[in-house]
Structure formats: C-alpha cells, structure tokens
Structure 1
Amino acid sequence: MAPPLYTPNQIPDPSYVRLLDTTLRDGDQAPGASMTPSQKLDVARLLSSLGVDVIEAGFPASSPNEFEAVRTIAREVGNHPMSPDSDHVPVICASARCTKRDIDVAWEAVREGRWPRVVTFIATSDMHLEHKLRKTREEVVKSATEMVKYVRSLGCQDVGFAAEDAARSDRKFLSHVFEEVIKAGATTITVTDTVGCTLPFEFGELITYLKSNTKGIENVIISTHCHNDIGLSTANTLAGVLAGARQVEVTINGIGERAGNAALEEVVMAMKSRKEVLGGLHTGINSVHILAASKMVSEYTGFHLQPHKAIVGINAFRHESGIHQDGVLKFRKTYEFLSPEDIGLTDVSRIVLGKHSGRHALKSRLKELGYDVNGSELESLFERFIKVAESKKNISDDDIKALITSNHTQSQVKWTLGDVQVTNGTNGSSNGKEEKIFQKCSENLLATATI
C-alpha cells in the first residue's frame, strides 16, 4: 500500500504508521559503520523505493562532507520518485541540536527537497541535565521552545522535536516540555528510549501517559525512537504504536549506536504478518525490497549479519532438523510463519543437510539432483551420510554426489585375487615360502571418494 498524501502533523488514515528511517544518521553513527556520500545516496534511493515515509539523511553540522551528502539526497531523492511503479517522494529530514548554528546548517541542507523537515533535540532527563548539559529544567524548556520557533521562522513548516533520554525523564516534566514545543510549532514529537533500558509495557504506558496528559498532543504525530541495548527495541516500538504512536524510527538491519536501533525489517514484517492482532495497523513499505536494502547496508558498512538475524539472516528460512525438514517438505507453513518471497528472497534453499537431518530430507535433495533412491539403497546411503555429517558442518551437493558414486561402487561384484607365485634366485627355484594364496572375497579394493 502506497503512503498517503503527506501532511506534516496529520495522517488521514488512523491505522497508518509512518516510517522514519535513520540508517543514514543513527545507523551511520555506529562505530565503524560510516558510509561515503555516494554510498549514502545509494541507500537513500533504495529507501525511497522501499516506500519509507521519512529519510533522516544525516547530521549536517557534523562536517562539510555530511552537509553535502544530506543536501544531495534532498535534491535528488527528495524531489523525484525512485520507483517506476510509484510517485512517492519521501520527506528528507536532518537533525540539529538546539542551537541556531546547527539549525541553520540543517535547514540549508534539506530546504531544496519537496518535503523538508528539521528535527531538533535536547535531553530531558535529570541525569543528562545535571551531568551533561549543566542546565536547569527551565533552561531546557526555554531552549527547546525557542529553537522550535526559530526553525519555523526560517520557513520550515515541518518541525520535529526529540526529547533525548525521554524514557528516563520525569513524566510530568517530559509532558510539560512537549506541551511547550507543540505550542511553539512542532509537528512531530519523538519519545526516545536512548539507552534501550525500557520494557515494552513501560514504553507503552509512557506513550499512553503522554497522550492523556499533554495538551495539544492530538495535533501532532507521536514518534518512537528505541534502542536495542537489552534486545527489546522492536517490541518497544510495537508497544508504542499500539499505545498511539504513528511514526516509528528504525534502521536497516537494526544498526545504530551501541547495540543498535529497532530494525526496519522486523517492525515492518511484524506489522505485515500480524496486522489483525495489531488492529489493522500498517505501513507503506514495499517489503519485496527489504532483502536488497539489507544486503546493500551490510556491504557498505562492512557489518555482516548474524546467520540467525530475524527476517534477513541467512538461516531465517533454512532448516536442518529432520522433524522440521519433514514438516516443511510436506507443508511449508508447518515451520515457516513468514514467506521469504515477501522480502524479495526467491532462490532460498530451505533444506540444509546436516547431522540432524532425516531420510526424507536426504531423499528430497537426491531427487532435486536427479537421483531416484529408495529402499535398502537409501538406507545404506543415509547411514554413510550421517557419518559424514557428524564430522563435517556443511554438506554440499558435490558431497552428496560423491556419496552416490561411492554407494554404487560398493554394490558392484567384488573381484578375487587368486594364485600368486613368488620366486627367488636366478634359476627360479622356490625356497618353500614363496608361494602364497590371497583370497579377498568381500573387501572392496576400489578407491572411494573422500568426503
């Protein structure tokens, strides 16, 4: 489903959830993950093809190169559809601290896009106020409201405000900050779990509290920004959406500061596959491009995925257990909840042969390779296969073919070595021990393949 017509602080469809992808900002901040400007442009194009509503293109004030990268994305991706099947053009946004310099640079970087947005942020937890900002609560409120007004004064009609460390902030104070920035002109407010410490029920309760206790909140979009320090970023994001948030901030492959962010592929596929449980909530993402985006980001950052990574890991749609393999071969959905085709994976080899595999899986692979093996021959082959699998992790098709060849060789008629005469001396006389008879009636002396 294509994203609806964009209005900064409104979404006509109450069940529609906007996706803000921050791979190019928060993801790029992961240690060792930085991308070149041309790589960022490639990723932005693919994000647009995915149907991402908002692309957070970077933090322009951090360097001249970053500024140019964001501006290029705004000019190219922020004005032209990247998919021939859609006229979708994403919002291009840039982050800025609550300072005029940061905001000026951010606005200059995105202003040429069709839908430019500037997101300004400041911490709201007492810990950050005391130890990092050295500011009072009153000073934080003043800075936040003045800078939101300043963004609007530049001509930017789409202003985001993010409360850093919101999850550990005093709720009454957090609500007060949001009230003031809404009055100042913010169109989206972001509730962050900056250190990824929240449990899903806590994060959901926080969104519910803010909705009930923040004046004017019905006039803006509530956004979530969850980190993954205890592995709950996706769960917290979904809890926030169920509580009323209508924008989620995610990254491809979940990359980001420390343990990363909520993963786009996980949030999207959770909502796509459990739509009925989530009350019909949905996104505008064309999920068939997910795998391509995952591979591109992995290649550009050098961050290789865990084999068991949800949705996009190499093992996400593969099975080695004999019981599972038997079920999948009979009916795929017995052990596959999701369809690999939904993320663009069309050439998946679901059955992985290993020491846990059963006869059914081996026979299926043999059939794929053109061999029709049954009965005692299959039993013999399976016994030898298990011995090999116990000493070798990865069983290839070549290994299977070698087993077949070896199995056929062993079934052939054995040959017998009969009369052997050994003579010694120039006259050919025997010393009494030279003549020996060797019978090898049951031993196969042909060489077999080494697996």
Structure 2
Amino acid sequence: MSGPSTPSSPRAPAPLPPDGSPPASPESLIYDWNQAEAAPRPPQPFGLIDETLRDGIQSPSATHPSLEDKLELLELIQAIGVDSVNLGMPCSSPRALADAVAMSRHIQARRLTLTPAVAGRTVLGDVERALDVVQQGGMPVVLYVFIGASTLRQWAEGWNLDFLAKASASAISLAVREGLEVAFVTEDTSRASPEILDPLFRTALGHGARRLVLCDTVGHATPAGARALVRWTRRLIASTGVPGQVEWHGHNDRGLSLDNALAALSAGADRLQACGLGVGERVGNTAMDVLLLNLKLLGWYEHDLSRLADYTRKVSEALCIPIPFNHPLSGRDAFRTGTGVHASAIIKALGRDDGRLADHLYSSIPAREFGREQRIEVGFMSGLSNVRFWLESRGLPSNEPLCQELLAWAKGRDSLPREEEILQVVDASHYRKQTAG
C-alpha cells in the first residue's frame, strides 16, 4: 500500500562564497517554498483581453475617459503585451459608438497588433451597432454578446431557459452571418447549474460562437470552483466536436479574483479578462497589472513589463481612480520604506552597486524590471542611515550634526515629512550655521 505522495523539494539556495566574492545572483540565495507544490505552467497558449474601457468604466466611481486618454491607453495596452482590448459597448450611446470607431481606426493607423472587441446584449440592435463599428472603423471586431444565465437572474427577470436559448441563437446567428467572430458571455456563470449551461453553450456553439466566456459576475467563485467550471466547460466543448475556446472573467467581491484567474488558467482557460487597477462594478474585476505581475514572476509571461507602472498610472489618470498607496507594484509605498532596519539593509545592498540585491532584500518583486525603484524615506521609525542616504542621494551635505538634527526632528512627527519639509529644515540648519559663523 503506497503512502501519500511527497511534494517536490524547493530549490535550495546556493551557499555564500567563502572568499566573500559576490554570489551568482540574488535569486540564487532564495529558498523558494513556492516550488514545493507549484502549479505547472499551463500547457495551452493563452491570451489576455483588457476590459478597462468596458467593464472598468462601469465602476460607479470611474470617469468616462476622453478619446485622447483612450487612444493613449491602447498604446500602453500594446506596450505591456496584452493581445486584445474591449473598446466598449457601442450600443450604450452615440459617444460610445463614435469612440469605438475612432479606436478601431487608431489601431489600424498605428499598426497595433491588438485585436479589438466590443460588447452587447443578445439583442439584434446591439449586434447592429457592432456592425456599425466594423463598417465605419474599417476593421473586424470580436463581438461579446452577453445574457444572464443563473436561476437567480431568470427569476428576477421573468425569463426561462427557452427564452435565453432563443435570444442567444438569434443574436449569434445575425452576427456570424454578417462575418463577426462571436464570444458568448453568460453572466453569473459561477452560480448557474449544468442543466442551464449545457443547453445554452451547445446552442451558442451550434450557431457559430467560438468562445465561451465564464463570468464570476459577483465574485462568488473560489479557486476550486473556477477550476471545476473551466474543466467542465472544456469537456462540454470537446463533446460537441466544435472548435471552441474558454475565457474567464472574474470579479473581486471576496478578494479572490487573482487566485481564481490563475486557477482558471491552470485548468485550461484560453484567455483571461482583466481591468487596469482592478476597476469595475462594486469592488472591481481582476486587476490586469497585478495579474501580469504574477504571470511574469511565475515565468508564464515573457513580454517586457517595464511599462506596466505607466499603464496603471494612465488608467488612474484617465478614469480619475486614485491608485491605493499599498497597491502592488504601482502604489506609492510599494518600494518605499522609512523604517531604519529595512532601510539600512537596502542601503548596504546599494552600496555594493547591486540594484538587484536591493530589490530582493525587502521585496518579492524586482522593482527595476517593472519600471520602479527602491525609495528610502526619513520618518519617525528611521535611523541615521535613512537620513544620511536621503541627503547624499540628493547631493546635499550629510555631516553628523545635520543628520542628528534631522533625525530628531523627524522622530517628533506623526507622519513621514514631504521632501520640501525636509529641505526647509536643511536650509534652516545651514542658515543658523552661517549666521553663527
């Protein structure tokens, strides 16, 4: 009788060279427990679609971006390697239609490799607005047609399964007949039963849809649920003999959207949907920036992400959504410390002329690889090393009396001072020294 399987051992760190010479790399010194039960790299190629300009701007706190901001976002979405972008819902307003057309033209004029998509309900008028985007914009788009699928939604709307199937078939058939690629989106998929999803998915595939989008619309799913739903859907597609792909769309109501997205990917999802900064209805969607960060660190994403922080800053500016100070990677405090012990170690690493070592000491993210850098501040938890480094990095004198004065002043405050406040103390100290002389 065999016992329980033993997980693979984490990679042991390399020993420090006995002669004090530098190690091969900072990474070689890390004992990585993550490898003990690491999920394997997804065997299937996968894509990403940015939903910031569709689901993201449905956030009650978001501002509808200007066309200029939307075009700049397209450039940044391309820069971070995302392959598709949702241009919005052209059926929602004349402006939404005009902007989708303008963005389509921009993609062509700039020769971007982004695949444009638009969204609409399973309503013939919404399909016609998508066709307007194609005719006026001059390039194909993927149409994401959506309908509520769960029993809860049916009860609230007074719908039944027959209505859902007929509405879906009608909209998909029109779109396919007019040459559109169609993705079929079932809202609240993660709370819908197989008895509902099976006939709806078969109807969609039978009428020409080639993507099934599984929506965790209210953030109900756990990673186990995401895996189960993706695997069930893949088996259903295989049973039809029709080529089809699976997409995952998650919300963050339980704080599980990133975990669910990675679980869906490991279970066989072909594409993940996400929004910059995780904006979206209620508490938002899977955050594209945090998703890309983790895909990169897992070794599942090869594209250069040095513009990732630029992307999140632009999302924040365009939608008037502030970046939380503690947001991974892009938050103000992501690579910032005013604590003496932490700062001292980072400063010693920087003193070795090794930015990579400094990036790893008190961070799991190599800041420079993602367009950021370590920042040492002066505050009530600081030590002399903070003060000295802060002054020297700005080309200011760092004599002992000035450092002691600054440190005593900072420790008497309740919060970290702004740069201009520290400079005022420095200037006042210099003035006193000159007048005393």
TM-score by length of 2: 0.80
What residue number does 2:386 align with? Answer: 361
What residue number does 1:142 align with? Answer: 166
What residue number does 1:49 align with? Answer: 79
CA separation of 1:102 and 1:357: change in aligned 2, threshold 3 A: same
Provide the rounded CA distance (Å) in 1 between the counterparts of 2:343 and 2:44.
Answer: 38
Give the AA of the match of 2:142: R
What residue number does 2:415 align with? Answer: 393
Contact kept in structure 2, 1:250 and 1:264, CA below 8 Å: yes
Give the alignment of 1:24-423 within 5 angstroms.
24-31=53-60, 32-78=62-108, 80-82=110-112, 89-111=113-135, 112-132=137-157, 134-156=158-180, 158-214=181-237, 215-216=239-240, 219-275=243-299, 281-282=300-301, 285-329=303-347, 330=349, 331-332=357-358, 333-345=360-372, 348=373, 350-370=375-395, 377=400, 381-382=403-404, 385-397=407-419, 400=422
* Number of equivalenced pairs: 384
Contact kept in structure 2, 1:225 and 1:248, CA below 8 Å: yes
SS at match of 1:356: coil
Contact kept in structure 1, 2:379 and 2:413, CA below 8 Å: no
Larger Rg: 1
Structure 1: gaps of 5 or more residues? 1-12, 83-88, 276-280, 413-444
Larger mean Cα displacement after TM superposition, 383-392 or 296-305: 383-392
CA separation of 1:114 and 1:14: change in aligned 2, threshold 3 A: farther
CA separation of 1:270 and 1:334: change in aligned 2, threshold 3 A: same
Larger mean Cα displacement after TM superposition, 293-302 or 363-372: 363-372
Contact kept in structure 2, 1:21 and 1:250, CA below 8 Å: yes
Give the AA of the match of 1:159: V
Give the AA of the match of 1:187: R
SS at match of 1:77: helix
Give the AA of the match of 2:307: H
Give the AA of the match of 1:305: I
1:131 CA displacement:
0.5
1:119 CA displacement:
1.0
Contact kept in structure 1, 2:410 and 2:416, CA below 8 Å: no
> Does residue 21 of structure 1 match 2:50?
yes
Contact kept in structure 2, 1:179 and 1:217, CA below 8 Å: no
Provide the rounded CA distance (Å) in 1 between the counterparts of 2:43 and 2:84.
Answer: 18
1:398 CA displacement:
5.4
Contact kept in structure 2, 1:328 and 1:336, CA below 8 Å: no
1:286 CA displacement:
4.1
Give the AA of the match of 1:198: A
Provide the rounded CA distance (Å) in 2 between the counterparts of 1:36 and 1:192.
Answer: 28
1:325 CA displacement:
1.6
Contact kept in structure 1, 2:382 and 2:407, CA below 8 Å: no
CA separation of 1:121 and 1:405: change in aligned 2, threshold 3 A: closer
1:381 CA displacement:
3.8
Provide the rounded CA distance (Å) in 1 between the counterparts of 2:128 and 2:381.
Answer: 60
**More helix by percentage:** 2
Contact kept in structure 1, 2:248 and 2:264, CA below 8 Å: yes
CA separation of 1:118 and 1:398: change in aligned 2, threshold 3 A: closer
Give the AA of the match of 1:56: N
1:371 CA displacement:
5.7
Question: Which string of whole-angstrom CA distances, capped at 9 and with x for unpartnered residues, describes residues 128-177 of structure 1?
Answer: 01102x21112212222332222110122x21111111011113421332
Structure 2: gaps of 5 or more residues? 1-41, 350-356
Question: Which string of whole-angstrom CA distances, capped at 9 and with x for unpartnered residues, describes residues 329-382 of structure 1?
Answer: 22311112222333333xx451122111223222322332446757xx36x844
Give the AA of the match of 1:299: E
* Amino-acid identity (%): 24
Larger mean Cα displacement after TM superposition, 266-275 or 331-340: 331-340
